[in-house]
Each structure stands twice: as structure tokens, then as C-alpha cells.
Amino acid sequence: MSMKSEVEQWVDESARLTKPDRIYWCTGSAEEYASFIGSMLKDGTLIALNEKTYPGCYLHRSHPNDVARTENLTFICTKTKDDAGPTNNWMSPKEAKEKVSKLFNDSMKGRTMYVIPYLMGPVGSPFSKVGVEVTDSLYVVANMHLMTRVGEAAMEHLEKTHEFVPGLHSLGDLSPERRFILHFPEEKLIWSIGSGYGGNALLGKKCFALRIASFMAHQQGWMAEHMLILGLQEPTGHVTYMAAAFPSASGKTNLAMMVSTLEHEGYKILTVGDDIAWLHIDEEGRLRAINPEAGFFGVAPGTSVKTNPIAMRTINHNTIFTNVALTPDHQPWWEGMGSFPPQGLTDWLGRPYAESAEKAAHPNSRFTAPAKQCPIISPHWEDPKGVPISAIIFGSRRSAVVPLVFQAYSWQHGVFMGAGMGAETTAAATGAVGVVRRDPMAMLPFCGYNMGDYFRHWLEMGGRIRKQPKIFRVNWFRKDKDGKFLWPGYGENIRVLKWILERVRGGGEAGETPIGFVPSPASLDTGGMSIAPEALKELLSIDKEGWLKGTDNIEEAFGQFGDRLPGELWEEHKNMRQRLEKT
Ligand code: GTP
Ligand code: SPV
Ligand code: MN
């Protein structure tokens, strides 16, 4: 059977269950995109933005109870609960299908089913993979057009690779009571119903490129990670590539597109990806990364000409905005855009904005824009081989304890550092914001299998990589006593990346501490930067009590995995505690 007929067979099967009135096969063409936009303008799914200042841009308001990923409704449906592990919600595949097929039953009656064949990764890359999403949401179709490579490219890749990940999506009734985001990693299948938002509904992104892909990567010897990929160009013109894992809404897009404040010295950033990296070991034993996505689904609030001018230039044309506020002259607006809320502003719910306690834009409002519109996109962003990675960076929001930057002593120590990472939660998922939880490698909501096995996989990958990337931890979010950020962040983060580059080269000064190599204030290039010496000192200080408490939290988190937690990580844990107690 040809691959086309295999896809057709699965589409038929999905149609028998959901009973759409029509089935439409997406080609991915510009005409198709324009006609879908036209229909959504007509039925009110989209609002056209100002043609002069935001050509080709639209606003979508999602259902008020459907504004972020819902981790509590996300399941890994492996045969055994143990294979999903203690950090994932689990249902048996049988129970999940019985329960949720009832919700899919007739869910597309009176509607059109859109079939989206899409490619994750550059055209012609041996690391790229095909997905097929069927959905009854045109908003999802339009976003998939921007975020992935839809149509011919996918079908051609499919004929060569004979493998695709099917994803069945329906809006259902959008009730959280009847919302399920299900993953069947053993059969590489995704079912999602009851949400039209972001990572819940654009199945190429978190569902495929992280949860299903991480499971495949574990089996096949590669890695699927919640990482940005950037190139750091230095005065000689040489570019060093780095990959960085930060939890949701914790600075990946911003770091990947940063305008360096050391540009006058010749240090600048090139963007390869802002959210997901697929990493493979090449014939020379180097770790290489591709960005499986073709667009950015980025956080709007906080994005301004000051903080992220590159994003502002990327998203002022051909962009879909979701849940931002609307000015009277139809421009998008959000908190932290750098201007006061204008008179006559409409909030994300479509109500007149009153300067009450509530925000005009939802804290998880987002933009969807094609990556090729990024003015500093790397010339290698679609290189089929990927880019060689020299440094891996873990980062998260920590208002206390964690220094601005430090380096792991070894790959194994770095894996421990990532596995034990604590992070304050954000608005990217429903639930409390600002609560510290363990978010290993920023993958807690995205690992499609037992995280104990995932840590083991990281250790094994390290053993296979001949030229191991150096591993670092960063924290832009440490606060002073008054609750103000100690570090200015954004473009100034280049100073940290410069030190990381020096360390990768075997240079750069650093002191040995219980937690790793920490730079002294003098070894960071802070020339021309306004930062109080006391602030810098505090940013690089080690809070012994805080870290000791952290080792207790790590012990508790590691304990959940029982004997699936690699002994090497307990060893690192013990060593760190001993080093802390000795100081
Ligand atoms: P996801 O798309 O959810 O995976 O998030 P992300 O990691 O790409 O986060 P993003 O770069 O969109 O940043 C989220 C929020 O953090 C935005 O409001 C930013 O303005 C803010 N932010 C990013 N970098 C910095 C920084 O260096 N310092 C401070 N203080 N805030 C930052
Ligand atoms: C995240 O939450 O990490 C995102 C947005 O990048 S979503 O696509 O909704 O997952
Ligand atoms: Mn993300």
C-alpha cells in the first residue's frame, strides 16, 4: 500500500468516528491560507488588524476557559503506568480510547474535517519527520501553516520514510470537563479534544515534537528537547551554536532573538529555533540540532522594542495574535509593550478595558509568525544536517538561591543539574503561577515516558558524544529584597553567553564552588553596563542554606523514580551535599 493510501485509511477511520460533513485535504499553499483567513474573518474567528501597521495580521480570541496548556488533562497512555512514570498523568490505552472515543463520536457533525499533512524539520533532512493532523478548527489549520511545513513537502518526505504520526483533533464543546490531550507513544498516536489552544491543539508542537518524539528518541538514540537553538557570532565571524532549555514563558524566544549589547564589539546572535530542538550525534561524534518548527508561537506580554526588537520586527506582518488587547485603530496591544494602554482599548475578552485589576492582554497571549520573517534568522536554520552544539544551557525562573550563571563539572554533573532544576511556574499552563516545582530539563510537562529512563538516556547520550557540549545553568530572574530583578536581562544576557563561549574554549575565569564553576564578578564582561557592584556580587553568590534545602527537594523528587533513577544521579546528589556541608 502506498503511504498516501495509508494516510487515507487513517483519515477514513477518523471520519467514521467524528462524522464530518466534508473532508478537505490541505495543500499548504498561500491561496489556501488566504481563503481560510477569509472564512475566519467572515465568521468572526479572526479580526483583521491595521493593514498599514500590521499587514496580513489578525487577532483571535480563544474561549475564556481555553487559554493555556492544561497539564492536568494531558495523559501519556503507555501499556503500563510505570512506563509513563510518576511525573505524567496516565491512563491505559484501552481505557483512554473507550472513554474519549465517546467524545469524538459525531464531534465533527455539520463541520469540515481538515487533513493537514505536515513536516517537522527542514526539507530533505534525514532527521525530519511527518505528522498528519485532522482537525475541525480552521484556526488550528492556519497556525499549522505558520508553524510547520504543510502539504507537498510532507507527502514527499513520507514517500521516502514510510512513517507518520497521526493526530486526531476536535474542538468538541471546549469544556474542560470533556477535554483530553492523549498520547499513545507505543503506537505513535495523538488524540486531542476539547481545546483549540496552542500546545493542546497544534499537535505538531508539544504533542508530537516533544512527547511522542522524546519517546522515539529514547528508542532510537537521539533527543527531543524543549530548547531554543542560537548561534553566537564573535568578532572573527566564527559562530558557536548553543541550545538552551528553559521552562515555558521563561525566556527562550527572547534569548534566541536577542539584540546583543556587545554588538559594537562584534558579538551578535543568530536565531535557529526558539522552542524545540531535535538533537542527533553525527559521524564525527558531535551533537547536532535541528529546529523541527517553521514558526514561532511566542509569548506577547513583555515583548517590546526595548526587550525584543527582533521579535517586534518579526511579528508586524503575516502574524496571528491570540488573546492580546485591541486598540481603537486595530493594532494589537499587551502589557510590557512599552506604551500606556491607549484610550478606547478593548481587552482580550472583547470588553472595554477599564484600568481595574485585570490585564488587557491575557498573560499567556501569543503571536504566531513564520520563522523566516525573523531578521536575524541564521543562514543555517534549515540546514538538513543541523548545527553543531557546543554548549547546553539550563535556565529557569528563580527569584532566590540560583546564581546568574555557573558551569557543571562534567556531563554527568550537568545531567544532575538539569534533572534537579527547580522552576517557578508561569501562565503558559493553567494553575498557580510562581510556585517552585522541579522541572527537569524544562521537560516536566513534555516527556513522553518515565523520566527516570529519560535521565538514563541523557547519561548514555553523553557517553556516545565524542565532543561533549559543556553544560551550564543560568538564571536571569534573581530578585533583591524589594522584589526587583537584580539582572537587567534581555540584550545584556550576551555577557553571560560570552563567558560561556570562553569556557567552551577552555578559557574564562571561574571559581570552584559546591554547585559548579562560578565566575567572579570580574570575569564577566560588564563594560559599559550599568549594574551596581553589590548586585553583581549577590547575583554570583552561593546561598548555602538555600542550596541545602534544594538538595532536600531534589532528594524527594528523585525518590519518586525508585530504582529507575540512575545511580549516577544519586552519586552527584551526595557529592553536592558533601561539598555544601564542607563550606
Ligand atoms: P514558551 O514559548 O512558553 O516555551 O516560552 P519562552 O521560554 O520562549 O519564553 P519567552 O522568551 O517568551 O519569555 C517569557 C517572558 O519572560 C516574557 O514576558 C519575557 O519578556 C520575559 N523574559 C524573557 N527574557 C527575560 C530576561 O532576560 N529577563 C527578564 N526579567 N524577563 C525576561
Ligand atoms: C509552552 O507552553 O512551552 C509553549 C506554548 O511553547 S504551547 O505551544 O502552548 O505549548
Ligand atoms: Mn515552549
Q: Is residue 302 part of a domain?
A: no
Ligand 1 atom with the smallest distance to the CA of 298 is 2
Strands 89-90 and 112-120: unpaired
Cα–Cα dist 94/411, whole Å: 40
Cα–Cα dist 294/197, whole Å: 18
**Which protein residue has the closest C-alpha to ligand 1 atom 29?**
489
Cell 479580526 found at: 47
Could you give the 3-state DSSP secondary structure of residue 480?
Answer: coil
Q: Is residue 320 part of a domain?
A: no
Residue among 200, 252, 254 whose CB has most ligand 1 atoms within 8 A, to mutate: 254
Domain check: are 136 and 185 in the same one? Answer: yes
Residue among 250, 308, 486 whose CB has most ligand 1 atoms within 8 A, to mutate: 250
Q: Is 581 exposed, middle or buried (0-12, 13-18, 19+ CB in 10 A)?
A: exposed
Is the minimum distance from the CB of 307 to ligand 1 under 6 angstroms? yes
H-state helical runs in 148-278: 152-161, 198-201, 213-220, 252-256
Distance of CA 578 to the CA centre of its chain: 35
Is the minimum distance from the CB of 428 to ligand 2 under 6 angstroms? yes
Of 485, 186, 175, 428, the closest CA to residue 307 belongs to 485
**Which protein residue has the closest C-alpha to ligand 1 atom 10?**
251
Taking the centre of ligand 2 as the mean of its atom positions, its distance from the CA of residue 245, in whole angstroms, is: 13
Domain check: are 23 and 170 in the same one? Answer: yes
Domain check: are 418 and 548 in the same one? Answer: yes
Is the minimum distance from the CB of 248 to ligand 2 under 6 angstroms? yes
Q: Which of 221, 250, 265 is the last residue of a domain?
A: 221
Question: Which residues are placed with Cβ below 5 angstroms of ligand 3, an ion?
Answer: 248, 275
Domain check: are 451 and 422 in the same one? Answer: yes
Domain check: are 266 and 125 in the same one? Answer: no
Ligand 2 atom with the smallest distance to the CA of 366 is 5
Taking the centre of ligand 3 as the mean of its atom positions, its distance from the CA of residue 307, in whole angstroms, is: 19
Ligand 2 atom with the smallest distance to the CA of 275 is 6
Domain check: are 405 and 459 in the same one? Answer: yes
Q: Is residue 336 part of a domain?
A: no
Domain check: are 94 and 143 in the same one? Answer: yes
Of 393, 441, 394, 449, the closest CA to residue 214 belongs to 449
Domain check: are 128 and 214 in the same one? Answer: yes
Cα–Cα dist 440/423, whole Å: 9
Cα–Cα dist 214/404, whole Å: 29
Domain check: are 455 and 543 in the same one? Answer: yes
In DSSP terms, which residues pair with 58 in a beta bridge?
Answer: 48, 320
pTM score: 0.98
Question: Count of H helices and E strands in the chain?
Answer: 16, 29
Distances (CA, A) of 52 to 35, 114, 331, 564: 21, 32, 10, 57
Which run of H or E residues covers position 84? helix 81-84
**Which protein residue has the closest C-alpha to ligand 1 atom 23?**
251
Q: What is the largest CA-CA distance in the chain?
A: 71
Which run of H or E residues covers position 116? strand 112-120
Contact 171, 66 (CB under 8 A): no
Is the minimum distance from the CB of 199 to ligand 2 under 6 angstroms? yes
Taking the centre of ligand 3 as the mean of its atom positions, its distance from the CA of residue 270, in whole angstroms, is: 19
Cell 534533572 found at: 419
Q: Is residue 146 part of a domain?
A: yes
Cα–Cα dist 126/558, whole Å: 35
CATH of the domain at 158: 3.40.449.10
Q: Is 428 exposed, middle or buried (0-12, 13-18, 19+ CB in 10 A)?
A: buried
**Which protein residue has the closest C-alpha to ligand 1 atom 4?**
248
Q: Which of 204, 221, 238 is the last residue of a domain?
A: 221
CB atoms near residue 185 (< 10 Å)? 24
Q: Is residue 305 part of a domain?
A: no
In DSSP terms, which residues pair with 268 in a beta bridge?
Answer: 233
Q: Which of 221, 253, 283 is the last residue of a domain?
A: 221
Q: Is residue 176 part of a domain?
A: yes
Q: Is residue 184 part of a domain?
A: yes
Q: Which three cell numbers stand for residue 156?
A: 514527499
Contact 328, 344 (CB under 8 A): yes
H-state helical runs in 173-269: 198-201, 213-220, 252-256
Is the minimum distance from the CB of 198 to ligand 2 under 6 angstroms? yes
Distances (CA, A) of 413 to 155, 285, 438, 500, 576: 42, 20, 17, 17, 9
Cα–Cα dist 377/384, whole Å: 15
Q: What is the CA radius of gyration of the chain?
A: 23
CATH of the domain at 568: 3.90.228.20
Taking the centre of ligand 2 as the mean of its atom positions, its distance from the CA of residue 202, in whole angstroms, is: 10
Could you give the 3-state DSSP secondary structure of residue 289?
Answer: strand
Q: Is residue 481 part of a domain?
A: yes
Domain check: are 425 and 539 in the same one? Answer: yes
Per-residue model confidence as pLDDT tens for the chain (583 residues): 788 999 999 999 999 999 999 999 999 999 999 999 999 999 999 999 999 999 999 999 999 999 999 999 999 999 999 999 999 999 999 999 999 999 999 999 999 999 999 999 999 999 999 999 999 999 999 999 999 999 999 999 999 999 999 999 999 999 999 999 999 999 999 999 999 999 999 999 999 999 999 999 999 999 999 999 999 999 999 999 999 999 999 999 999 999 999 999 999 999 999 999 999 999 999 999 999 999 999 999 999 999 999 999 999 999 999 999 999 999 999 999 999 999 999 999 999 998 776 899 999 999 999 999 999 999 999 999 999 999 999 999 999 999 999 999 999 999 999 999 999 999 999 999 999 999 999 999 999 999 999 999 999 999 999 999 999 999 999 999 999 999 999 999 999 999 999 999 999 999 999 999 999 999 999 999 999 999 999 999 999 999 999 999 999 999 999 999 999 999 999 999 999 999 8
Is the minimum distance from the CB of 260 to ligand 1 under 6 angstroms? no
Domain that holds residue 560: 225-293+389-582
Residue among 253, 276, 495 whose CB has most ligand 1 atoms within 8 A, to mutate: 253
Domain check: are 191 and 240 in the same one? Answer: no
The domain total for the chain is: 2
Distances (CA, A) of 103 to 90, 94, 175, 197: 18, 15, 11, 18
Domain check: are 117 and 251 in the same one? Answer: no
Cα–Cα dist 49/31, whole Å: 19
Of 392, 459, 422, the closest CA to residue 555 belongs to 422
Cα–Cα dist 211/226, whole Å: 10
Cα–Cα dist 215/355, whole Å: 47
Contact 67, 364 (CB under 8 A): yes
Residue among 67, 200, 299, 374 whose CB has most ligand 1 atoms within 8 A, to mutate: 299
